Structure 1
Amino acid sequence: MGGGGDTGTQFYDVALRRRQALMGASGPRALVANFKVFRIALFACIGGVLYGYNQGMFSGLLAMPSFKEHMGEYNPFDPNADQTKKGWLTAILELGAWVGALLSGFIAEYMSRKYGIILATVVFIVGVVIQTVAITPAGAQATLAGRFITGMGVGSLSMIVPTYNSEVAPPEVRGALVATQQLAITFGIMTSFWIDYGTHFIGGTERGQQSDAAWMVPTCLQIFPALILLAGMAFMPFSPRWLVAHGREDEARRNLASLRDLPEDHELVELEFLEIKAQALFEKRTAAEKFPNLVEPTAWNTFKLQFVAIASLFRTKAMFKRVVAATVTMFFQQWTGINAVLYYAPQIFQQLGMDDNTISLLATGVVGVVMFLATIPAVLYIDRVGRKPVLAIGAIGMALCHFTIAIIFARNENQWESHPAAGWAAVAMVWLFVIHFGYSWGPCAWIIAAEIWPLSSRSYGVSLATSSNWMNNFIVGQVTPDMLQGIRYGTYILFGVLTSMGAAFVWFFLPETKRLTLEEMDTVFGSEGTAAADVERMDEINREIGLTALLNGLGGDQDASSHAGSEEKKDGSAEAEIRP
């Protein structure tokens, strides 16, 4: 029995060594070498721009006098207003995003990742249209409804886009392409902050002077990138992994070769295609054995399978470890306090002594710039450095910033006017906090959530992880106004403690996943203990589809390993790191 497991492990070690010998190094040059797939991922990441723009835009709107008047009883900065309603005004988008993320697993699996992005974009546009027609104070309720619908689109995009990018990417740039989603989000945030700053002056900056166009213009502008994404996705390729899972193998092979910019009969294309096919067949046959009543690929069966598949994620130790890795990482990403800063930056900066509304908006604009710039190194080098060290260092840096802000706040809360340097020091700590988030937890949390799942559970697993992100995002958005008013500098102590816990979680629990293919995550998350029947089934499939013959054609297990080793010596760019 144990021999089957050893044979399976040796087999995949051979496959991994061979692939690492064939593929190039990670880093900026790899993005150039894989420019075609990089270009496709960049376009899909317009979905991230929509998410980031909407997120950042609303922060500036909350500080505009004309928008406060428009929202009536939901006026976000009326000292007499209900703090709960203030939180709902911001957090209702996150609640919609949570719903969208839960539904997107079914959508991405049944409709495809490509059409799922298109549908989510349509929903986003509908929500924006509803917000833009709510131009009277009586339209406050319509604004809330529009934000909820927009959130559904944003939530779906936040799940499907990184899934799509991870599935079209070769292993050496997968982290970079998934991280591109976060770069797109930060670009959207940065752009929206400065658009808000510019439109803030339309009609004047004081109450009674400012035109409704100050908040209407940035709200309407987000429709244009959405229309570009909607039209362009029609010409983007399907995910090869989704095509294989749905029996469209010839198309999958063509797409894979095209994405790698290699001939269809190239050894690397053949190896990757057969591994994808083996994993898909294995999981289909396993699912047919476990859920025979859901084998027929109808829409209703796919919808029911979503809940069955999510429940199955909790049934084995290896899969539950994935659930914990993805959902807890997303929990800690949100409880770093990043969205408290992004949603309430003008209020936070005013609380730290920036009395003038224009200055606080300007300081908010700097947040967008530094986060965008800090995310660029993650896109370029995350596949070289790895996930664990970046997440751990980023968490420690953010926690120190929180604690420093809390100390400055506590010592100067009632004397900002006489100690302006202290206020600027606290603002600088907010900027430094955003930098640490930008290169670490911003992109890396999404990478972890997108790359650790097996093919049959990937859309459902990413949906679960994304729903964790949005639910915690919703909670943070809801409680931050109460915390800023109630516990004040204690808000930063709380975020600092939770971020420190996030660093410990990463260091002691998360495995390193850089440069491993999506199909090879099984070993990383403990599948060496898979039942012998599963190992035998995979070996049978490997023989059936010709993957075993391909590797034996290199001279058998030992010869293949030697061949791979010699390739690695000839090509210093190939990493020698092999999973245990």
Structure 2
Amino acid sequence: MVLYGYDASVFNALQISKHWIAYFNTPGPNIIGAINTAYTVGAVVAGFFMGGPLADWAGRRVGMAAGAVLVIIATFMQTFAPRGNIGAFIAGRVFIGMGQGLALTAGSIYIGELAPPEIRGKIMSFWQMFYSVGSFIAYWVSFATAKHSERLGEWDWKMVVIFQLLVPILILSQVFFIPESPRWYVQKGRNYEKARRSLRRVRDTEEAVEEEITTIREAIEFEAEAISSGYSALWKDKSVRKRMYIAMIVNGGQQITGQGTLNSYSSIIYKKVFSSSDTIALINALNATFGIIFTLNATWTADRFGRKFLFIVGGIGMGICMIIAATVETQTPSPGGAKSQPVGIAIVFIMFLFAFFYKPSWGATVWIFTAEIFSMNIRAQAVGMCSQTQNVVNSIVQQFFPIFLKNEGFYAFYMFAGINILLAAFVWFFVPETKRVSLEEMDAVFGGANHVVEGAAIEAKDPARQQSVVVDPQEKTISERKD
């Protein structure tokens, strides 16, 4: 997630560099929008059509590693793009997006599948927090280079870009030393021995390992016999279709809260308030710093108050912040083309308050919810498609927002205020609570069959299935679960 946070923030950080602007011949609003769109299009293509199949075929770890490799290639493409060749830079952004699409699909599934249900929300909240860590690194590197811009020359932006190498190299150095998802081992080849080895590294007792293996086995037996072992369940199963619709709206909603736009265009937005590039770089860096702290609120609220509560409170809070920010900016004078210092400080404070509501709710909780609601047979593909709805919506918003902001200024923020209130209403009426529900029993929450119960019933009719579970002759046969 640090990979995602840095990659998503780096272009916003570049836009305050006069050397980057000169290097690529002062790109206009349409080109700026196209650069952001290229990133999201790459992510959509990889997330929709490649991330799920790769994670299912080769494993969650390979999916994360493949994404890291693409980011490394793309970083060199961007850093050493020929002067004036904006096409080469855009191509690099496409590959960055593709790497993100592969890595995020596999990563979110991986964490969801290894986390115990009672603390899954807490663990997944760190997923979003480390997005803020990525932004933190990007913006503080940008601030440091902005302070020494004259001495660095064009390397004031190239250093920001080339720092993208740090995280994918770290991922590649450790990803094959962590345990593979036990659910993938069972789903891929009924390899219960390797599944047990993975679980033993992340569970306290042998009893907990055996109970979870039994739960996984029963769910997969039901999915293979009664539903489908392929992706056809995405449209055949009414319960899955319902989850797809809800998850796509929630993920798309994340990007039209206003946060996605702020992350990509805050430098442009703050230019309407402040005249100093150093000040804007500092604000971006501080915003990323506070983002880490704000996201930590999800670690103690997600499993205590639930996903639905966070969505609703976050949506209402963000809507109010957007109304206040738009009103303050549009109803105060701008002597000399910039706001007075008290007005500027007030607007920055409201934007930070917006992040306070966003980070633990529509930031962290969207990922928690998406990674936990799908059954094993279609989880990788469904999570990939739903999470990349963020980028489908983002690509649309990012393309028109620079022009919208240029023409309408902060009046554009009233649109985000209305959207946030509508999102809170949607969750109130259509989104069920999912806290502390095991992955294998999630279908029942959305009106489907309980895969564990149904799988146990299938095994009860055919005891030979239970015996086939043991791969290693020295392994003990799993004892039947007690009611």
Query: TM-score scaled by structure 1?
Result: 0.77
1:297-348 deviations in Å (ceiling 9; x for gaps): xxxxxxxx5xxx2x54233431121012210001111100101111111211
1:215 to 152, 157, 162: 157
1:198 corresponds, among 132, 144, 154, to: 144
Structure 1: gaps spanning 5 or more residues:
1-47, 76-80, 296-304, 555-559, 561-580
- Give the conservation status (yes or no) of the 8 Å contact 2:222–2:458: no
Other-structure match for 2:55? 108
For 2:192, the equivalent position in structure 1 comes to 249
Kept after mapping to 2: 8 A contact 1:201/1:214: no
The answer to whether structure 1 residue 54 and structure 2 residue 1 are counterparts is no
8 Å Cα contact 2:186/2:217 also seen in 1:
yes
CA distance in 2, matches of 1:212, 1:553: 65
Q: Distance in 2 between matches of 1:372 and 1:338?
A: 15
Q: Give yes or no for contact 1:96–1:149 (8 Å, CA) kept in 2.
A: yes
CA distance in 1, matches of 2:415, 2:312: 18
| Structural mapping, 1:231-246, within 5 Å | 231-246=173-188
Q: Does 1:69 align with 2:22?
A: yes
How does 1:62-461 map onto structure 2 within 5 Å?
62-72=15-25, 75=27, 81=28, 83-102=29-48, 103-134=50-81, 136-204=82-150, 211-246=153-188, 247-263=190-206, 266=207, 268-286=208-226, 305=230, 309=231, 312-351=233-272, 353-412=273-332, 414-415=334-335, 417=338, 419-461=340-382
Structure 1 residue 257 displacement after superposition: 2.3
**Aligned amino acid, residue 273 of structure 1:** I
Contact 2:147 2:278 in 1 (8 A): no
Q: SS in structure 2 opposite 1:313?
A: helix
CA distance in 1, matches of 2:460, 2:19: 65
Contact kept? 1:201, 1:210, Cα under 8 Å: no
Report the AA paired with residue 10 of structure 2. M
Deviation digits for residues 182-201 of structure 1 (CA, Å, limit 9, x no counterpart)? 11111000111111000113
Q: Deviations over 1:212-262 (max 9, x none)?
A: 110111211121221111121111111000001122111112221222032
Q: What is the CA–CA distance in structure 1 between the aligned matches of 2:55 and 2:341, rounded to whole Å?
A: 51
- The 8 Å contact of residues 155 and 470 in structure 1, kept in 2 or not, is answered as no
Where structure 2 has 5 or more consecutive residues not aligned to the other structure, the ranges are 468-476
- Contact 1:366–1:431 at 8 Å: present in 2 too? no
Q: Determine the C-alpha separation between the residues in 2 that align with 1:122 and 1:138.
A: 26
Moved more, 328-337 or 85-94: 85-94
Amino acid at match of 1:68: I
Cα separation, 2, equivalents of 1:146 and 1:198: 24
Match of 2:473 in 1: none
Please, what is the CA RMSD of the aligned residues?
2.3
Percent identity of paired positions between Structure 1 and Structure 2: 28
* Superposition deviation, residue 398 in structure 1: 0.5
Q: Deviations over 1:515-541 (max 9, x none)?
A: 1110111110001599xxx97665122
Size of the alignment, in residue pairs? 469
1:490 aligns with 2:411: yes
Corresponding residue number in structure 2 for 1:21: none
Q: Distance in 1 between matches of 2:268 and 2:453?
A: 57
